A = this chain, B = another copy of it.
Amino acid sequence: MTSSTAYQQLEACFTRLHRYAHLGAMAGWDQLTMMPEGGNEARAEAMAELSVLMHETLTAQETRRLLDEIDPASLEPEQQANLREMTREVRDATVMPPELVEAQSLAGARCESVWRRCRPANDWEGFLPTFREVVRLSREEARIRAEALGCGRYEALLQKFEPGLNLETLESIFDDMRQWLPGLLSEAVAHQRGGELVMPQGPFGERDQRRLGERVMRWLGFDFEHGRLDVSLHPFCGGVPDDVRLTTRYREDECLTALMGIIHETGHARYEQNLPQQWRRQPAGRARSMAVHESQSLSLEMQLGRSAAFVRQLRPWLVEALGDQPAFEADNLIRLAQQVEPGLIRVDADEVSYPAHILLRYDIERALIEGEIEVEDIPVRWDESMQRLLGLDTRGNYRDGCLQDIHWTDGSFGYFPTYSLGAMLAAQLMAAARRAEPQLDARIAEGDPGLLLDWLKTNVWQQGSLLETPELIRRATGEALNPEHYRHHLRERYLG
């Protein structure tokens, strides 16, 4: 077989995997938005079976044989990039025993289902048994991956979401942040103290909020021919690039949380909807990594969505959808969007306290995976960190404490740090977009976010995984990931 025939066969294999993943993405979306609870066991079984199938396909001897037969020098540059991504995926899958993959999928789905019951009931004890099994399996995964990659256990899980990120780099960024974040947070709180803040008065109907959200999504270029907006307990962006499913959750007494959540998920969605069309079915056509993904949601939510210029654009629509009230006065709206107030819930956290939530989870999950603590130790660790980092007492409140996130339920340890890396990258991208498009802020102030969106489309979305993350960042911004842009952004917005 020639090298080029082998490459074509490998593309066909990955196209098949892409289509299997489509079915899994839709079953997963349905599970969190539509599925009645009694359907969970059968769904978990079906999704686990799909995981096994995909794992078998990826690790088949034939797949590895094809990879070996290809001479990269015979390929076009973009094909070479695709081959690099294929190789990594096969390697990441080959190290995992199929029984472990299946056990994780099953345990994850069960634990998610238990979590959906236990969280509202504040039932940490009820959550523990299924969660303990998830942790046991994740530790096993970390051990196996660490051995194969020749790195640390937690680091090995981190690299599932952020290929090539070593723990030392992350440690140095997070240690740096540990130094300045608490000070900046209290300065920001002090800075805002005394500023009069009028809170919106509900009730705000779900239907009105949804219509407003859809209008903002359209404004941000979301394509409703290839996606939709629904409700789930924990907001997420799922589906496939041709059919992106994003969710939010509405509260009757509040209207900005759901709206900002929608803007956030729209950032993820636009990235997915604008991945390179000609690479759609291949690894090179996928979103780059979790941190890059999060940088897109935060570019839209934090860099754009909570800026004074953007909030002024929102005001008339908010009034039209929900009626006018003193809280919707423009300057008050801006203060609301930029209010710094340490709170219990990560997804509702403001931009300044958010990294503290991440540091807390990072410390706990790292210790948990490295075997330094057990699941029983989580609440005490949680309470202690919340007190230290955010000055909040969370004792006994599991619902809004360590039960608040869905991530750990299916064993996604190593994911949380990517949120803060994404926030840093978003600030760096915004700075680069401003340099490239000097009219960017003026145009946003006129109600047109097009310059920013087009710049992101060209420099991030359309790149898919054709470049590796450091190269993507360097080409887009002219330098490596540099957290200083983030610190600068926070100081400008919150202490300026």
Residues of A within 8 A of B (CB): 16, 19-20, 22-24, 26-27, 30, 34-39, 41-43, 45-50, 53, 223-228, 239-243
Residue of B nearest to A48 (CB): B19
Given contacts A27-B26, A243-B42, contact A228 B49 (CB under 8 A): no
Residue of B nearest to A37 (CB): B225
The 6 listed contacts between A and B (C-beta, < 8 Å) are A19-B46, A22-B46, A36-B227, A38-B242, A39-B239, A39-B242
Expressed in whole angstroms, the minimum distance between the Cβ of A105 and any Cβ of chain B is 11
Residue of B nearest to A24 (CB): B23
In the complex, which residues of chain B have a beta carbon less than 8 angstroms from the beta carbon of A26?
26-27, 30, 43
In the complex, which residues of chain B have a beta carbon less than 8 angstroms from the beta carbon of A37?
225
B34 to A27, Cβ gap below 8 A?
no
Bound complex: CA A4 to CA B483 (Å): 64
A42 to B225, Cβ gap below 8 A?
no
Residue of B19, B49, B224, B226 near A49 (CB, 8 A) is: B19
Please report whether the interface of chain A is mostly helix, strand, loop or mixed according to DSSP.
helix
Residue of B19, B38, B46, B226 near A39 (CB, 8 A) is: B226
Among all A-B residue pairs, the 8 with the closest Cβ atoms: A39-B243, A38-B225, A22-B46, A19-B49, A42-B242, A38-B226, A19-B46, A23-B23
Bound complex: CA A468 to CA B194 (Å): 79
In the complex, which residues of chain B have a beta carbon less than 8 angstroms from the beta carbon of A239?
39
In the complex, which residues of chain B have a beta carbon less than 8 angstroms from the beta carbon of A42?
22, 240-243
Residue of B nearest to A230 (CB): B34
Expressed in whole angstroms, the minimum distance between the Cβ of A52 and any Cβ of chain B is 9
A36 to B240, Cβ gap below 8 A?
no
Residue of B nearest to A243 (CB): B39
B23 to A27, Cβ gap below 8 A?
yes
Residue of B nearest to A23 (CB): B23
Expressed in whole angstroms, the minimum distance between the Cβ of A222 and any Cβ of chain B is 11
Residue of B nearest to A241 (CB): B42
Residue of B nearest to A281 (CB): B45
In the complex, which residues of chain B have a beta carbon less than 8 angstroms from the beta carbon of A22?
27, 42-43, 45-46
Expressed in whole angstroms, the minimum distance between the Cβ of A27 and any Cβ of chain B is 5
Expressed in whole angstroms, the minimum distance between the Cβ of A249 and any Cβ of chain B is 18
In the complex, which residues of chain B have a beta carbon less than 8 angstroms from the beta carbon of A226?
36, 38-39
Residue of B nearest to A39 (CB): B243
In the complex, which residues of chain B have a beta carbon less than 8 angstroms from the beta carbon of A35?
243
Residue of B nearest to A224 (CB): B36
Expressed in whole angstroms, the minimum distance between the Cβ of A318 and any Cβ of chain B is 25
Bound complex: CA A19 to CA B44 (Å): 10
In the complex, which residues of chain B have a beta carbon less than 8 angstroms from the beta carbon of A23?
23-24, 27, 46-47, 50
In the complex, which residues of chain B have a beta carbon less than 8 angstroms from the beta carbon of A38?
223, 225-226, 242-243
B36 to A19, Cβ gap below 8 A?
no
Known: A20-B49, A22-B46, A39-B227. 4 other contacts (CB 8 A): A23-B24, A23-B47, A26-B43, A39-B242
Residue of B nearest to A35 (CB): B243
Bound complex: CA A167 to CA B216 (Å): 58
B225 to A34, Cβ gap below 8 A?
no
Residue of B30, B41, B49, B242 near A16 (CB, 8 A) is: B49
Expressed in whole angstroms, the minimum distance between the Cβ of A304 and any Cβ of chain B is 25
Bound complex: CA A42 to CA B241 (Å): 9
B19 to A45, Cβ gap below 8 A?
yes
Bound complex: CA A19 to CA B225 (Å): 30
Residue of B30, B36, B242 near A225 (CB, 8 A) is: B36
Residue of B nearest to A280 (CB): B42
In the complex, which residues of chain B have a beta carbon less than 8 angstroms from the beta carbon of A48?
19
In the complex, which residues of chain B have a beta carbon less than 8 angstroms from the beta carbon of A225?
36-38
In the complex, which residues of chain B have a beta carbon less than 8 angstroms from the beta carbon of A41?
242
